[in-house]
Amino acid sequence: MEKRKNVRGVWLFAFFIFLFLLNNIFALGMSPAREEFNFKPGFEEKIGYNVFSDTGRDIEISAEGDLAQYVTFNKEVVSGGKGGNFVAILKLPNSLDEPGLHRTFVKVAEKVVDEELSGFFVVKVSVMSIIDVYVPYPGRYLEIGLVSKDVNIGEPVEFGLTVVSRGTDDIDISPKIDIYDLKGNSMETLFFTERNILGQETLKLKKILNTTNYNPGTYKAKALIDYGIPARAETEFRIGDLNVKLLNYTNLIPIGKLEKFDLVVESGWNNNIEGVSAKIYVMNGSRELAQFETSTTQLTPWEQKTLTGYFDTSNFTEGIYDANITLRYYGGQQGKANSNMVKVEFVKGKSLKTWYIVGGTGLFIIIILILIKIFHKNGTNKKRKKK
C-alpha cells in the first residue's frame, strides 16, 4: 500500500511540473540550429547567433561537448528583454587525434539571479545549437544519402544523391540506383557518370526516373557506391493515381434506433481529392433495405480520413447482410467512383452489450495476468538480492 502511494505521488508531482513547464516551452529560442565544418589545422570560424526570449530575463551563454574548450564568445550574457545577438568563435588546434564526428553544443539558458527568491523550485529554460566538426579518416571513407518525392502516374521521379567524403584520400566513384517494387522484384537501374570526389568534399547529384511504364504503387530505390567498401542508402517513393481506397468500415450494427456508420478511406493520389463521399446500400439478396450517404470531405495527398453516415436500423432483424459501399470523388475536373461489396452484421442491443462485456472481461483478465507476472518477477528479484 505504501509503495502504491509513493508511485501515485511521483506521478502527481510530475504532472504539476509538466503544467508549470507548459508556460515556458516556447519562452526561449536561438538560430542557427546547426553548423557543420570539416577539420583543418588551425581552422577558425566566427558564428553569429540570434537569441529570442519572451521572459525578460538575462540569457547566459556557454559551450558543452567534445570541442567546448575551443569555443569562446564575444559576450557571456545577452541582456534581458526579447533577446539579442552574440558571436561564437571556433578556433581548432593543429591536430585532433580521433577521426569522425566531434559534436559541440552552444547553450543559452535563462539566468536566475537569486534562487532563494525563485519559488519552491527553480526552472531554468535552456536551448542548444549544434556545431559539428568532422575529422577525416585516414584513407578513403564515404557516406551517402538518398532522397526522393512521391509523384502521380506518368510523372518523373527525381532522386537526390548526396555523397560525402569523410576521408583524406580522393576516390573515383560510379554511383548507381536500383529500383525495386515492394515484392523485391528489380525494375531497372539508373547509372551516374563516373567521377572523382576529393577528400572531405561533398557532392550533390540528381537522377531522373521515367515512370511512364510504372503502375501505381510503392517502390524502393537503393543507391550503391562500391569503392572497395560498399556505401549504401535507400528510400521509398509512391506513384499515385486518382483513387480512394476503402480501408475499414463499421461491420457490427445494433438494431433499434438511428445508428452511425463509419468508413475509413485513404487517398492514393499525390494531389488533393475533392468531394469525397460515400453512398451505402444495405441489401438482403436483391432487395434493398436501406440507403444513406456519408458526410463529404477533402483528402490531401495520401491522407486517411473517416467518413460518417447515419441510418435507421429499427426495421432490421438479426443477421448478416450485404452492403454496397460506393465511393465518389473528384480530382481536378475528373470525377470517379468505385464500389465495394462487404458484409455487415445486425445484432440486438443486448447482444452487442454482451460482446462488449465479453471483450472487456477478456481484456481485464489479460491485464491482471500481466500485472501478476510483473509483480511475481519483481518479488523474485528482491528475494535474490536478499540472498
How far, in Å, CA of 20 to CA of 296, rounded? 41
How far, in Å, CA of 87 to CA of 107, rounded? 12
pTM: 0.74
Would the CATH topology of 22-135 be identical to that of 142-240? yes
Let me know: does 275 contact 296? Beta carbons within 8 Å: yes
The DSSP secondary-structure symbol of 156 reads -
SS3 content of the chain, % helix, strand, coil (to 5): 15, 55, 30
Does 2.60.40.10 match the CATH number of domain 244-349? yes
The residue assigned the cell 460482446 is 355
What separation in angstroms does the CA of 290 have from each of 166, 287, 306, 316? 68, 9, 21, 9
The residue assigned the cell 471483450 is 359
CATH class of 22-135: mainly beta
Read out DSSP for 178-229?
Answer: EEEETT--EEEEEEPPPEEE-TT-EEEEEEEE--TTPPSEEEEEEEEEESSS
Burial of 378 (0-12, 13-18, 19+ CB in 10 A): exposed
Let me know: does 106 contact 88? Beta carbons within 8 Å: yes
Let me know: does 75 contact 86? Beta carbons within 8 Å: yes
Does 3.30.70.940 match the CATH number of domain 142-240? no
Segments making up each domain of the chain, as ranges: 22-135, 142-240, 244-349
Tens-digit pLDDT string for the chain (387 aa): 554 545 454 454 444 444 444 444 457 889 999 999 999 999 999 999 999 887 677 889 999 999 999 999 999 898 866 678 999 999 999 999 899 999 999 999 887 765 555 544 455 788 999 999 999 999 999 999 999 999 999 999 999 999 999 999 999 999 999 999 999 999 999 999 999 999 999 999 999 999 999 999 999 999 999 999 999 999 999 999 999 999 999 999 999 899 999 999 999 999 999 999 999 999 998 899 999 999 999 999 999 999 999 999 998 999 999 999 999 999 988 999 999 999 999 998 655 555 556 666 777 778 877 777 766 665 555 555 555
